Amino acid sequence: MDKELSHHVERLVHVTCELVEQLKQQNKAQAVLHGLAEMEKRIMSAISTYTDKVNTAFDAIATSVDEIVVSQTGLASDVAALKKIITDFQATIGVLTPEDQALLDAAEVKVNTLVSNIGAVSTALKALDVQTESAPTPA
């Protein structure tokens, strides 16, 4: 009987050791899963931060593009006005009249305004180029 009891005790110890080992493995798996869940949170947070920075950059670029479109429309109007002044001036024949001089003076003012507006567009394009050189990096 002692031999049989001894055998059952050994078997019980063996099964208990196996159960303990399985619990350790389950605890390790749970620890790994917990670690993965924490890593996922950090990655999602970094993605969210990066997305916010990219959206901010896109908003700034959109504003710059809108301003350039408005400037381009103004420039087109200025060019059309200058063409009309030149056409009107070319329609006069002979000596330079006071009206002709007024047309020339008006054309000079328009040209100077146009040069200034083109400079503003150039500055806006440079600012847009600076904004698009590189994507923001995640923090």
The pLDDT score that the predictor gives to residue 101 is 82
3-class DSSP string for 98-109:
HHHHHHHHHHHH
Q: How many CB atoms lie within 10 A of CB 85?
A: 20
State the Cα–Cα distance between residues 39 and 114, nearest whole angstrom.
Answer: 56
Closest CA to 103 of 77, 84, 79, 116: 84
Per residue in 2-61, pLDDT (tens digit) is 778 787 788 888 888 888 888 888 888 888 888 889 999 988 998 899 989 888 888 888
Question: How is the chain split into domains, by residue range?
Answer: 2-131
87, 45 in Cβ contact below 8 A? no
State the Cα–Cα distance between residues 87 and 99, nearest whole angstrom.
Answer: 14
State the Cα–Cα distance between residues 69 and 129, nearest whole angstrom.
Answer: 15
The band of 135, judged by pLDDT with boundaries at 50, 70 and 90, is: low
50/112: higher pLDDT? 50
94-118 core/surface letters (b: 16 or more CB in 10 A; e: else): eeeeeeeeebeeebeebeeebeebe
The pLDDT score that the predictor gives to residue 138 is 63
